[in-house]
Chains A and B, each alone.
Chain A
Amino acid sequence: MIEYLENIIIRTLCRFLIPFIQLFGLYVIAHGHGSPGGGFQGGCILAASFILILVTFDLAEAKRRFSEKLNNFFNSFGVFIYAWTGWMCLLLGGNYLDYGKLSQILPVDPVKARYFGIFSIEVGVGITVMAVMVSIFHDLITGGKHEEVSE
């Protein structure tokens, strides 16, 4: 009871703050074309929200929110999105990562097609950076074991 009452301020505050941190991370990724930001920066902010769950609550709660199988999937999904965009440009008759050729499947002119190509690879970079930061932190804190971390 005493231990629960010690942490109640921090736990209530972080439970309120974490969705807003994630919203800000998605904003930084999506507005990378018009203000300072982009894929790497937004991915680190998203990873910080998941690390905050592990720091304030315990390991079981963190694994319930973002399980290990989902983490292993998102590790390589971002690199797949990046390579898929480049591969589509190769199939449509250009060089690898030549976004002007994407105007054959999107209904825009070649200059605007480069805009959408840049946006899609920024999303891929953000997903991979988020998943790898959370995975490295979990492994370093628990030392590889999957039992409960001592408080």
Chain B
Amino acid sequence: MIEYIIAKYNYWGYILLMMIGFYAMIGKKNLVKKLLGMNVFQWAIILFYVSIASKKGGATIPIVMGAHGHYEPAQAIQFLNPLPHCLMLTAIVVGVSTTGVALALIIMIHRRYKTVEEDEILESLEAFKK
């Protein structure tokens, strides 16, 4: 049982962070708090992918040292897996762009309805009036 927990506790930690962001997205009424919940959810997924890339047994960062002089050919067991790092750079940048556009939309909603709470906005929409 103890070996099972030690082998997988990184996945459980990131699932806890994901569920904190998920509760903020569906359980809060303020629009800015929902947006911050989405941001926490995104960062939990990015960290989860980066933690898959590690290797035990003395693997080091994926940069070949001494490459401009005499170096020995790189072996796959000595270095970390660089592929999830490369994919998550794209994911970070997409997250930043989404947060920027969402903040601009919240400013426009505040100008039109004078409030940022979700239930007050739903009351003043014409489609929901009986």
Binding site for B on A (CB under 8 A): 34-36, 40, 129, 136, 139-140, 143
Report A-chain residues with C-beta under 8 Å of the C-beta of B2: none
CB distance from A138 to the nearest CB of B (A): 12
C-alpha spacing A106/B107, complex, angstroms = 50
C-alpha spacing A116/B32, complex, angstroms = 44
Binding site for A on B (CB under 8 A): 61, 63, 67, 89, 92-93, 100, 103-104, 107
Q: List 16 A-B contacts (CB under 8 A).
A: A34-B63, A34-B67, A35-B63, A36-B61, A36-B63, A40-B89, A40-B92, A40-B93, A129-B93, A136-B100, A139-B104, A140-B100, A140-B103, A140-B104, A140-B107, A143-B107
Q: Which residue of B lies closest to A137 (CB)?
A: B100
Q: Which residue of A lies closest to B103 (CB)?
A: A140
Most B Cβ at <10 Å: residue of A35, A36, A136: A136
Report B-chain residues with C-beta under 8 Å of the C-beta of A136: 100
CB distance from A39 to the nearest CB of B (A): 10
CB distance from A44 to the nearest CB of B (A): 9
Q: Which residue of A lies closest to B111 (CB)?
A: A143
C-alpha spacing A143/B107, complex, angstroms = 8
Q: Which residue of A lies closest to B68 (CB)?
A: A34
Report A-chain residues with C-beta under 8 Å of the C-beta of B100: 136, 140
C-alpha spacing A26/B103, complex, angstroms = 29
CB distance from A108 to the nearest CB of B (A): 15
Q: What 10 A-B pairs have minimum CB-CB distances, sorted nearest first?
A: A136-B100, A140-B103, A40-B89, A40-B93, A143-B107, A140-B104, A139-B104, A140-B107, A35-B63, A36-B63
C-alpha spacing A143/B89, complex, angstroms = 29
C-alpha spacing A136/B100, complex, angstroms = 7
Q: Which residue of A lies closest to B110 (CB)?
A: A143
CB distance from A37 to the nearest CB of B (A): 10
Report A-chain residues with C-beta under 8 Å of the C-beta of B93: 40, 129
Report A-chain residues with C-beta under 8 Å of the C-beta of B92: 40
Report A-chain residues with C-beta under 8 Å of the C-beta of B103: 140
Report B-chain residues with C-beta under 8 Å of the C-beta of A143: 107
Q: Which residue of B lies closest to A39 (CB)?
A: B89
Report B-chain residues with C-beta under 8 Å of the C-beta of A35: 63
Report B-chain residues with C-beta under 8 Å of the C-beta of A129: 93
CB distance from A50 to the nearest CB of B (A): 16
CB distance from B81 to the nearest CB of A (A): 16
CB distance from B121 to the nearest CB of A (A): 19
